[in-house]
Structure 1
């Protein structure tokens, strides 16, 4: 009897196993009938900023890879569209025009084989002048901090379109896909004020005048900001004496407009104004919330004149 039960158990197990394997090998899901889409993988962001001080030479440039069921062969055209965006303090974002406009169209013939993958690739470059003209503006209308929103629309030969309105977050943001279909090109003002400088303190809160040396160290996490080795430009040492210590005061360069922010080791805040600026001399007047103040003339280094600072 035990042999019969054992044999029956083996038979039942075999039937279950056979049934399970059969379901796995021949699923009822019609994968062969699934539709497939297309996307543009970002291979290289060659240039994604416009230099406010050199708009004529600035450009937006990418290398893209067309990914679809035919290794890029279904792509018919890619529209490159653009609009201008500006943040108005107290108001919000202002778009010019309200809806993006066509600035260029890539044809299927612009995509070609490459030695690195089986998918067709293309590279393009949009000069800043072309983008500015497309949105109905001129170089004089552009300010630092403005953004040009470039949006791509992939049209395939089946009449379908793929863009920001129907891309998933995974396709847009995951490193493997890297296909956002939109690229924000910021108008930046490159800043290069880091260095060690000689200065003359021509006025201080205690009446002392003296010469010294100060270092402006670029803040990596905040482009355009420079941490000062001494926010009082040596005035504490000359007047008390007291050392600068753990204070964190910075000079910030926003498109050649300088401001001072931060606090000293006692918690007092700092600010400054630019009295005058020439290629050789930068005159600053600083003060803090404790009532201390000073005026300094900071001299540029050889071969690196001051820009037109305000």
Structure 2
């Protein structure tokens, strides 16, 4: 009996070693309608926003595009892919009404472009075939029967991919599993929401001066000065982390470190706001005061009652003229 158990144990150990040495990505993905299939792993979201020129109040189609680098994963290292349809639908949130779609959800989203098998090619560092494509915004508008005048800031274009394999099977967001869509390894949502946003470039390190500090501690009077760094949040246009969202008040009033937490400065087509909360769970509010291009002044408060009037000084003409708070 001991010999049999030993032999079984040795066999299992050998199987484990063999399995650990195999570099293989299992393409047997749980789709709703298929036991095995293919998916498009997102390698790079090169451009997933369209630009709106808020100063001239016009959609900037000439400088907008949808661009991805994708990797086809299947049992033949991408070889079963026959085509990929790139489809589009326009979406707009109407306050008090809800979402408006073009075309309506009951109608099929039109094809903007179709990638063929020839659009996928070998790439360094992987055995799977890859494709790299860019679709100008004008091409999307044409497929939807729209013009630049039909696009508003805050609109969304739903760009949906449909992979067709050499058996005629279709893989998309309506039959893939949640793991395929959102899993870190797979990252194959088959649909990418392209938001219409205004370009924002507020990052940098700035001198600040804060007056009217609350609480009015001795160390904060008549003002407190220093430097603050505003850093773009990767992958979220118009969102910035702020190294000290109290602009010196936590230090001069409490001898405390900066607020930290998840507080972000948001620039939505020139409309400034704070989102998130600090390390104590307090939210922040901002009210525009003035902007001469070099000095941006605003009042800020948090839900605990801290606050002040802060001026950020940048290079001459740094702050866009359309900055405001709504």
The interval holding the TM-score normalised by the smaller chain is: 0.5 to 0.7
Q: Residues of 1 paired with 2:303 and 2:173: CA distance?
A: 49
- CA-CA distance at 1:273 after TM superposition: 1.7
Alignment-derived partner of residue 50 in structure 1: 49
Q: Residues of 2 paired with 1:269 and 1:110: CA distance?
A: 48
CA contact (8 A) 2:121 2:129 kept: yes
Q: 1:56 is paired with a residue of what secondary structure?
A: helix
**Aligned match for 2:81, one of 57, 75, 84:** 75
- CA-CA distance at 1:61 after TM superposition: 2.0
Alignment-derived partner of residue 180 in structure 1: 189
**Aligned match for 1:248, one of 259, 281, 286:** 259
Alignment-derived partner of residue 110 in structure 2: 101
Q: Alpha carbons of 1:300 and 1:166: their partners in 2 closer, same or farther (altered >3 Å)? A: same
Q: Alpha carbons of 1:296 and 1:83: their partners in 2 closer, same or farther (altered >3 Å)? A: same
- CA-CA distance at 1:165 after TM superposition: 2.1
- CA-CA distance at 1:58 after TM superposition: 3.4
Structure 1 segments unaligned to the other structure (5+ residues): 1-34
When Rg is computed on C-alpha atoms for both structures, the one with the higher figure is 1
Alignment-derived partner of residue 301 in structure 1: 315
Q: Residues of 2 paired with 1:254 and 1:227: CA distance?
A: 17
Alignment-derived partner of residue 273 in structure 2: 259
- CA-CA distance at 1:113 after TM superposition: 4.2
Alignment-derived partner of residue 134 in structure 2: 125
- CA-CA distance at 1:130 after TM superposition: 2.6
Give me the TM-score of the superposition, normalised by structure 1: 0.64
Give me the TM-score of the superposition, normalised by structure 2: 0.62
Alignment-derived partner of residue 274 in structure 1: 288
CA contact (8 A) 1:247 1:265 kept: no
- CA-CA distance at 1:77 after TM superposition: 2.5
Alignment-derived partner of residue 147 in structure 1: 156
Q: Alpha carbons of 1:84 and 1:273: their partners in 2 closer, same or farther (altered >3 Å)? A: same
Q: Alpha carbons of 1:102 and 1:243: their partners in 2 closer, same or farther (altered >3 Å)? A: same
Q: Residues of 2 paired with 1:269 and 1:230: CA distance?
A: 11
Q: Residues of 1 paired with 2:129 and 2:258: CA distance?
A: 55
Q: Alpha carbons of 1:184 and 1:229: their partners in 2 closer, same or farther (altered >3 Å)? A: closer
**Aligned match for 1:215, one of 218, 225, 228:** 228
Q: 2:293 is paired with a residue of what secondary structure?
A: coil
Q: Residues of 1 paired with 2:104 and 2:229: CA distance?
A: 42
- CA-CA distance at 1:257 after TM superposition: 1.4
Q: 1:129 is paired with a residue of what secondary structure?
A: helix
Q: Alpha carbons of 1:94 and 1:289: their partners in 2 closer, same or farther (altered >3 Å)? A: same
